[in-house]
Amino acid sequence: MQKSTITMTGAEPFFFPSGKVGCLLVHGLTGTPKEMRWMGEYLHQRGISVMGIRLAGHATDPADLPRTRWRDWLASVEDGFHLLSGACEQIFLAGLSLGGALSLYAASYLPAQGVISISAPYQLPPDWRLNFIHLIKHLQPRVPKGPPDWHNPQAAADHLEYPDYPTASIAELRDLLAELRQILPHVNLPALIVHSRADQGVSPENAIKILNALGSPQKEILWVENSGHVVVREPDRQMVFERVCRFIQSHTPSE
C-alpha cells in the first residue's frame, strides 16, 4: 500500500520568513503542524523567521504513521533545519512532546543556537508490556488515547490529530527516549524546558529529569499551572510565547 500524500486540511506545514534569526517548530506524536502555529505567528510578529514542519507519517492518514520509525521523524527535523538555514543565520529548535524530544536529540549535533523543549518526555511510564511491545504491536496495532486534559475547550474542539496511538509508534518513542537519555549529557546548547504542572499526558517529573540530565551550562525551566499537555494552545500560551521569545533574543549573537 502506498503512503498517503494528502495533508489534512488545516494541518499544513508553514513558513513565515522574517529576519536572519529562525526557529524550527516541531509538533507532537499523532499531532500536526497546527499545534505550533500560534507560537509561530507570535514569534514571526516579533521578527523571528519560523518554520513549522510535518513529521513523517503525520497529518495525512493514520495508516501512514505505523510505517515510520523514529529516525524518519528525526530526518524530518533535519530536513526542516537545512531548509530554514537557507533563510536564517541562527536557528533555534523548539518542539512539543515528541517534537521536544526530537529537538533535544537534534541539538546534540545540529549547529543550532539553542533548544526549547515543551511538554517533552524523558521516559515512558513504567509498564511491563513495554518489554514485549514489538510483539504486542502485531496483536494490538493501536492503543486508545487517555482522557484529554485540555484547559482550553475552543482549542480542544478544533485540534487536529490522529484518533489513537499506533502501538508500533509507541515502540519507536520508547527507543528514541532510550537514545535521548544517553545523549542529553552531550547537549551543550542553551536550553529552555517548558512544562505544565497539570500535564496528565507527560508527568512534570519528566521536565526535571531532562533539566538535570542536560549537559548545557545554560539551562532553565518554565513551569505553568493552567494548561494541559498541549501548552502552546492552552491558556498559559502567552506566558510561554513571551518566555520563548526572550530566550531566543537573549541567546542571539548581536551584530
Spatial distance between the Cα atoms of 109 and 76, rounded to a whole number of angstroms? 15
User: Cα(195)–Cα(209) distance, rounded to whole angstroms?
Assistant: 12
Cell matching residue 69 = 520509525
Rounded to whole angstroms, how far apart are CA atoms 123 and 56?
Answer: 22
Residue 68 CB burial class (10 angstroms; 0-12, 13-18, ≥19): buried
Q: Which active-site residues does the annotation give? A: 97, 199, 229
Residue 188, SS3 per DSSP: coil
Residue 82 makes CB contacts below 8 A (sequence gap 6+) with none
